[in-house]
Amino acid sequence: MLKKDAEPKKEEDLIDLFRSLPNRKLSDIEKQMIFILIEKSKIKRERSMMILNKGFLIFFSFLIVAALAKVNEFISQKYINILFLLGIAVLITAVILYYNVVAEEEKSLDRLLDGFLK
């Protein structure tokens, strides 16, 4: 509950900072650079989202194969366990990669915003 109350104050402070900035027009080059930086950020985020989606797909396909193999008994229990562990490893790797990219992009956008506020 406290966290939700803290977020609007931060946004309100940010809006106040924007209002207190001097009225300066950005040049076309500055606008294009900002647009390019934001688009690069979106591309990185989309690429990491694709990796995350593929990680989930591989994980669930490993689970389905392991379940079918268990029911029909055409793969030994040892290989089913290995399949399950590999699926979990792929899922964990995909989540970690996604988290790292999103955290890095958040930091770069925060730096960009701080650069405008100075």
| 23: region left, alpha or beta (phi > 0 left; psi from -120 to 50 alpha) | beta
Q: Are 52 and 97 in contact (CB under 8 A)?
A: yes
Confidence of residue 4 (pLDDT cuts 50, 70, 90): very low
Confidence of residue 29 (pLDDT cuts 50, 70, 90): confident
The total number of residues written for the chain in this structure = 118
User: Which is more confidently placed, 7 or 52?
Assistant: 52
60 Cα distance to chain centroid: 20
How far is it, in rounded angstroms, from Cα 29 to Cα 17? 23
Give me the residue spans of the domains in the chain.
39-118
How far is it, in rounded angstroms, from Cα 36 to Cα 58? 33
- Res 68 pLDDT > 70: yes
> How much of the chain exceeds pLDDT 70, in percent?
77
- pLDDT of 59 reads 92
**In this predicted model, what pLDDT tens digit does every residue of 99-118 receive, in sequence order?**
999 999 888 888 877 776 66
Position 7: which residue type? E
